[in-house]
A = this chain, B = another copy of it.
């Protein structure tokens, strides 16, 4: 059936390209040239501001089509000599330089909706990285600006703010409804490019769901952390105030996840807090 669609000179060129691998293509059933979409690696890079005690997300201002001059999650193309997670790590290095040696990247999901990328087919292989620091940012290729956006929330969404700019996670909770509306919404100034508000929503939900059994998000607190800072992170994703999470209970409920590794030294009044690490080692 697909053979009935128009075939351009580019399709033919692509076919020639394909055949160098001695792969036999069956046009009628298995393929057409358009089946090789762009492979975008999208990386949600998280960090924690120890001054403001806020969770932060890295956003970039695009300089190229599509969505030039608009804010988006950092993206790159998958290269032939790297796995997708290596590609996500490379993206981190491009934005923050190489001063950080040790950080954790994990897969979020893959987004394949046909209209997610205007003009051409593109898949987003999305990853999340938790940085143990909040370094200065370097916009790098394809972007004119890169900034940290502090996370907050309202009843139905998470919000990410830097100065006047504020972006929210998708308001829809249903995948199909979100993408059905996506075309019409593409020009709203307070929205992230592409389907990034949806990707961001999926990310926040995932992080929240993993808090009680695999809180890799705490890696953004550094190699060790105090219970108070951990509670701040939990509170941010649970849409609570820190003080709504009782420290005594928090410690008891998560003792299987945390292991004590030392004590803080501080110049402020009050008993110094103990330091903890994740008891499991994220691969």
Q: Which of A136-176 contact B (CB under 8 A)?
A: 141-142, 174-176
Kindly list chain B residues whose C-beta atoms are within 8 Å of the C-beta of A110. 84, 107, 109-110, 125
Q: Produce 1/0 per residue, A79-91, CB < 8 A to B.
A: 1111111000000
Assess the A112–B141 pair: CB atoms within 8 A. no
Among B23, B33, B36, B114, the residue within 8 A (CB) of A39 is: B36
Kindly list chain B residues whose C-beta atoms are within 8 Å of the C-beta of A10. 16-17, 20
- Given A113-B83, A125-B110, are A77 and B39 neighbors across the interface (CB < 8 Å)? no
Q: Which of A247-283 contact B (CB under 8 A)?
A: 283
Kindly list chain B residues whose C-beta atoms are within 8 Å of the C-beta of A65. 22-23
CA distance A126 to B154 in the complex (A): 34
Q: Is A51 an interface residue (CB 8 A)?
A: no
Assess the A142–B78 pair: CB atoms within 8 A. no
Q: Which of A80-110 contact B (CB under 8 A)?
A: 80-85, 107, 109-110
Q: Which of A188-222 contact B (CB under 8 A)?
A: none
CA distance A26 to B78 in the complex (A): 14
Kindly list chain B residues whose C-beta atoms are within 8 Å of the C-beta of A20. 8, 10
Kindly list chain B residues whose C-beta atoms are within 8 Å of the C-beta of A142. 30
Assess the B21–A13 pair: CB atoms within 8 A. no
Among B33, B112, B141, B283, the residue within 8 A (CB) of A26 is: B141
Could you say how many copies of this chain the assembly holds? 2
Assess the A35–B78 pair: CB atoms within 8 A. yes
Assess the A23–B120 pair: CB atoms within 8 A. yes
Assess the A35–B30 pair: CB atoms within 8 A. no
Q: Is A186 an interface residue (CB 8 A)?
A: no
Kindly list chain B residues whose C-beta atoms are within 8 Å of the C-beta of A69. none
CA distance A10 to B36 in the complex (A): 15
Kindly list chain B residues whose C-beta atoms are within 8 Å of the C-beta of A39. 35-37, 123
Kindly list chain B residues whose C-beta atoms are within 8 Å of the C-beta of A109. 107, 110
Assess the A31–B77 pair: CB atoms within 8 A. yes
Assess the B112–A83 pair: CB atoms within 8 A. yes
Assess the A29–B125 pair: CB atoms within 8 A. no
Q: Please, which residue of chain B has its CB at the minimum distance from the CB of A32?
A: B80
Q: What are 30 A-B contacts with C-beta separation under 8 Å?
A: A2-B79, A2-B81, A10-B16, A10-B17, A13-B13, A13-B14, A14-B14, A14-B17, A22-B65, A23-B120, A24-B64, A26-B141, A29-B141, A30-B76, A30-B141, A30-B142, A32-B79, A32-B80, A35-B39, A35-B77, A36-B39, A37-B80, A39-B123, A78-B112, A107-B110, A110-B110, A110-B125, A123-B125, A175-B283, A176-B283
Mark A residues whose CB is within 8 Å of B: 2, 8, 10, 13-14, 16-17, 20-24, 26, 29-39, 64-65, 76-85, 107, 109-110, 112-114, 119-121, 123, 125, 141-142, 174-176, 283
